[in-house]
Structure 1
């Protein structure tokens, strides 16, 4: 993402894994680690996923009961209106009191693997839409703190209360501000359909299988970030261009004109100056406004940041003032 030609966000989509943040898997507890208050869960990845007790979510007992019911074909529909919720999970507890080896768990990837570690997962399942986030086994309606108008917060709560299915909580996202019930309802129905798909897949699913996939990285970025400040969405391949046009048409049809295909001879990253900025970002020397620069190096134990005045030291007579400004 660029702002005034300056790179402010860079997301890298990995193609060497069968999962992404937001994907939901039927996992199996491989090992319980009381010392870490966590469990390692097999979701079919090269490294087992890490599930900490703190990432279970208060609705874990209800989720666990529902998953077992679906897998045993006791739940006849995806709806939760007749589902009896279990008491909330204690926020302070022990992993070995809720996990056992071989236990089936429905988990959602919340963090990609780092170095030698596997992905991090949670059982606090949620489904994100353009305007709303659907939270099963809850009836709470929450509004983003960035929506500050009390009248607007109350309006959105009333609208969502009138359309949300029983047994589901909802988080109203910032971009929902000012939108009417028809748009919010379309978003809600899309997430309810995803929940239905999850139910159907779980009904016949096997351990280590993906039950529900998140949107691709590009689409999920647009879903989460697209707002009135965007002035263009540049795509460099015809296939992805059509995909992005279709997705923007679905979530924000008034912004379809922002999507354009890059057809310059130079590669899009070179043409927009992104390549140069990336090389600078991942180098050890970083220029800062005012003429100074940083040298950043890391070791096994720590990161070292050396602050240098650079050419600025030759332009100022007052050494103390220069040092103060640079630092």
Structure 2
């Protein structure tokens, strides 16, 4: 499986697409003015302590105060407060190292927020959930710094190994190795990608994280409330940190500054892969060149088509996401109802997993699969969904199909859902209605022409279509229609018809009869 990262610089930031075997699996839009990313550490001020919620609201600079629950303070909150206060009030040249710090007693996990926090108190906090809808950021005082092979946890001494590393011998090796190189008062969570890595790579990653911590503590000496003390890296670098592996082929970037940043980061974490970063200089826009724009149009609509003929309807409410699976024109192509349902549900399960990652959907997701009678088929759908979700980096839980054919999924939501407008204003009604993306219509027409000319050997083919689509195929000296002739050595007659919708078309043979084509 090939992995490619495509980065497109925009006026407001950058767009990032992760392709697996040329198929879009993750899409992120990072804006330059976007603050409060997951992982950022701020010096905040307590604005309100709410005893009824056992929580406090913290001012870190967002328009709405951030939320901090008592359970998110962490057992070592007293040590964090005491240490950060000593660092902030230390004189120039005076250095406090966490390795030499004497930890304070743990707080009571069943305690009250009023016992440890008061109004106007300064507190070091980390963003664990970005602002979503009308809610401000969610915070934690259990600080952590993520690296490529491990996560550094200050004010802790434990070493935890990723559950995805199943080899007992390897878990024991990593635990022993990390315990020998980590400093006192720092805990470590070993990530899955650390499996079979040698001590040199792990030690280098640990040193980088310790340097980040030291830089943040140095900044804390002069920090004012609302200041960012330690910032998470850019989205592109964070993605590379999390997904870079042996199957990663290339990273294409169309901006020199971002290219230099990414190349420096790769050189730092994986010098042997530095050459995969490539500066794109093509004439076409980078997302057009790699076919990403069309994939975005087809993937982010309310209705998502499946290759086999079925389709998904994705609805979002305040409380949850609902996904309805429909058979579409697949119903005529299987031996029976149960076979049809199983076939569509299998394909839908794989596409749903892709959609969850692509849109970064979180919270509660309810999937209404097509009803199946056989218990083994229901178990198979559950098994496929579990396997596909195993590649998802977000925490999630998948439950088996209920008696009503519903599957419940929970997925960690730490940032707003990716939402892209894929509907276009109709040129006929000038915005009083909406239509599906016309960019997909041209693709379907071209695929059908290829099928009719190569598989069915049609001659004197005529296509009736909307004037807008007609102009798309005929404009320019080397038009798309001329390219068809150079490819197939057959001329395709195009006829304009303004009475049909922009997404409609007809194929006519030499006898004047309409050709019915089903490519699914």
TM-score over 0.5 (shorter chain): yes
The within-5 A match list for 1:137-216 is 137-216=155-234
Shift of 1:290: 2.5
Q: What is the alpha-carbon distance in structure 1 between the residues aligned to residue 320 and residue 176 of structure 2?
A: 51
Change in 2 beyond 3 A, CA 1:324/1:100: same
Instruction: Pick one of 127, 131, 145 that aligns with 1:109.
Output: 127
Contact 1:29/1:105 (<8 A) preserved:
yes
- Asked if the contact 2:57–2:67 (Cα under 8 Å) also holds between the matched residues in 1, the reply is yes
Matched, 1:22 2:39: yes
Q: What is the CA–CA distance in structure 2 between the aligned matches of 1:116 and 1:57, rounded to whole Å?
A: 26
**C-alpha offsets along residues 260-284 of structure 1, whole Å, 9 cap, x if unaligned?**
1222222222222222222223211
Return structure 1 stretches of 4+ with deviation > 6 angstroms.
none
Residue 192 of structure 1 and its aligned partner are, at CA, apart by 1.5
Inter-CA distance 296–149: structure 2 relative to 1 (3 Å threshold): closer
Aligned equivalents of 1:178, 1:70: Cα separation in 2: 38
Change (3 A) 1:289 1:33: farther
8 Å contact 1:285–1:296 — kept in the other structure? yes
- Show CA shifts across 1:130-187 (max 9, x none): 2221111111112222222222222222222222111111112222222222222222
Tell me how far apart the structure 2 counterparts of residues 12 and 56 of structure 1 sit (CA, whole Å).
31
5 and 21 in structure 1: CA distance in 2 versus 1, 3 angstrom threshold: same
Q: CA RMSD in A?
A: 2.2
Does 2:74 align with 1:57? Answer: yes
**Pairing 1:35–2:35 present:** no
* SS of equivalent residue, structure 1 residue 10: strand
- For residues 67 and 47 of structure 1, what CA distance do their matches in structure 2 show? 25
Identify the match of residue 152 of structure 2 among 130, 134, 141: 134
* Cα displacement (A) at 1:307: 3.3
Say which SS state the counterpart of residue 107 (structure 2) adopts: coil
- SS of 2:98's partner is coil
Separation in structure 2 between the aligned mates of residue 268 and residue 114 of structure 1, nearest angstrom: 30
Instruction: Give the match for residue 283 of structure 1.
Output: 301
Residue 247 to residue 323, structure 1, CA distance change in 2 (3 Å)? closer
Per the TM alignment, residue 219 of structure 1 is displaced from its structure 2 partner at its CA by 0.9
Q: Does the aligned pair in 2 maintain the 1:27–1:107 contact within 8 Å?
A: yes
**1:77 CA drift (Å):** 2.5
Aligned-partner Cα distance in 2 for 1:103–1:237? 43
Aligned counterpart for 1:6 among listed residues 17, 20, 23 = 23
Name whichever of 116-125 and 303-312 sits farther off: 303-312
Counterparts of 2:207 and 2:317, CA distance in 1: 50
TM-score under structure 1 length normalisation: 0.91
Aligned to 2:384: none
Give the deviation of 1:229 after TM superposition. Answer: 2.0
Which protein is bigger by CA-based radius of gyration? 2
What stretches of structure 1 of length at least 5 have no aligned partner? none
Contact 2:36 2:137 in 1 (8 A): no
How many angstroms apart in 1 are the aligned matches of 2:337 and 2:100? 74
| Structure of higher RCO (CA pairs closer than 8 Å, 6+ residues apart) | 1
Q: 2:331 aligns with which of 288, 313, 317?
A: 313
**Which residue, out of 235, 260, 273, partners 1:255?**
273
Where 1:191 maps in the other structure, the secondary structure is helix
- 1:325 to partner: Cα distance: 4.1
SS of residue paired to 1:86 = coil
Residue of structure 2 in register with 1:218 after alignment: 236
Name 2:95's counterpart in structure 1. Answer: 77
Secondary structure of residue in 1 paired with 2:31: coil
Q: 1:40-68 deviations in whole A, cap 9, x for unaligned?
A: 11011222111122222222121112122
Give me the whole-angstrom Cα distance separating, in 1, the residues matched to 2:193 and 2:125: 27
Change (3 A) 1:267 1:148: same
Distance 1:56 1:280, change over 3 A: farther
Residue of structure 2 in register with 1:296 after alignment: 314
Structure 2 unmatched runs, 5+ = 1-17, 345-369, 371-520
Cα-to-partner distance string for 1:106-143 (whole Å, 9 max, x where unaligned): 00111111112111111111111222211111111122
Q: Structure 1 residue 300: deviation in Å?
A: 5.1
Q: Retained in 2: the 8 A contact 1:17–1:45?
A: no
Change (3 A) 1:298 1:163: closer
Q: Secondary structure at the match of 2:196?
A: coil
The CA distance in 1 between the partners of 2:107 and 2:31, in whole Å, is 34
Please give the secondary structure, in 2, of the residue aligned with 1:39: strand
